Chains A and B, each alone.
Chain A
Amino acid sequence: MARVVVDVMPKPEILDPQGQAVANALPRLGFDGVTAVRQGKHFELEVADDVDDATLAKIAETFLANPVIEDWTVRRVEA
């Protein structure tokens, strides 16, 4: 078994209302100096050893992310 991390982020050119709301709230709470926030999703998958990178990419591309508005990255991490 391996652990695979998939991060899904709104594409840079796509409006991210979630991140924007957080960014706007920070100065109100007294935290200055944060100029931008983008909010995405973080998935941790426990994956059998025979699942190859192409399959993982397909899982990310077709299911975990919506490639119309989101980018994704897949990385294997040490268990």
Chain B
Amino acid sequence: MRVGVITFPGTLDDVDAQRAVRYADGEAVPLWHGDHDLKGVDAVIVPGGFSYGDYLRCGAIARFAPVMQEVIEAANKGMPVLGICNGFQILAEAHLLPGALVRNHKLHFVCRDQWLKVENNTTSWTGRYDLGAEILVPLKSGEGGYQADEDTLKELEDDNRVVFRYVGENPNGSRNNIAGITNARGNVVGLMPHPEHAIDALTGPTDDGLGMFLSLLDSVVKA
């Protein structure tokens, strides 16, 4: 399994996403923001960070990088794509996922260990989890509040496209406690929390996040 991990100027969690891929016995393939091809990878991770400083809007500039045009095309053909934190913001700006991420309701950056409930285990990235399972992974973001209009929220809920929901106190003001969503096809997933930081209890709160990368392995093998 070869998994591309994109680095934009300002990307921070690319090394962690690469490590997570290796922990799942995959090969991590670095992709540069200026690349015009995806080097034959089976899946792509858009990792966390502050691409281009996130100064205009989170993800607004990165969304136009050459490599993203390739990602958009591949995603629309069914390639598994995962956006974590800033990656989720970029996928939303690129309209691969609906809605937008806005400033946390308490206006502070929040770094904490966060319980999530698995609401959909049929995507390319969540097959290893039991439906309804609760996992503990780090959340670290200043603009993680999920926002969408009522119609979009209804569609997400009706079509079972909410993948993860925050358990307990809502950490950032997300509508419907949404932590992560998927597209209609289930190959593109975006979430604010960081599964790649929960792959080893030595460096993270748990190894609960590894399941996402192992799930990918299953879906790539199946495909």
Dominant secondary structure at the A interface: helix
Would you give the shortest CB distance from B60 to chain A, in whole angstroms?
9
Residues in A neighbouring B201, C-beta threshold 8 A? none
Least CB distance, A19 to chain B, in whole angstroms: 8
What is the minimal beta-carbon distance from A37 to any residue of chain B, in angstroms? 10
Considering the complex, which residues of chain A in the window 18-50 have a beta carbon less than 8 Å from any beta carbon of chain B? Answer: 18-22, 24-25, 28-29, 39
Distance in angstroms from A23 CB to nearest chain B CB is: 10
Chain A interface residue count, CB cutoff 8 Å, equals 11
The main secondary structure of chain B at its interface with chain A is: loop
Q: Is B53 an interface residue (CB 8 A)?
A: yes
Query: Closest approach, in angstroms, between the C-beta of A5 and any C-beta of chain B?
Result: 22
How far is B64's CA from A25's CA once the two chains are assembled, in angstroms? 9
List B contacts of A17 (CB < 8 A).
53, 55
Any chain A CB within 8 A of the CB of B23? no
B56: chain A residues within 8 A (beta carbon): 18, 21-22, 25, 39
Cβ A28 vs Cβ B55 within 8 A: no
A21 touches which one: B53, B64, B65 (CB < 8 A)? B53
Which B residue sits closest to A18, measured CB to CB? Answer: B55
Residues of A within 8 A of B (CB): 17-22, 24-25, 28-29, 39
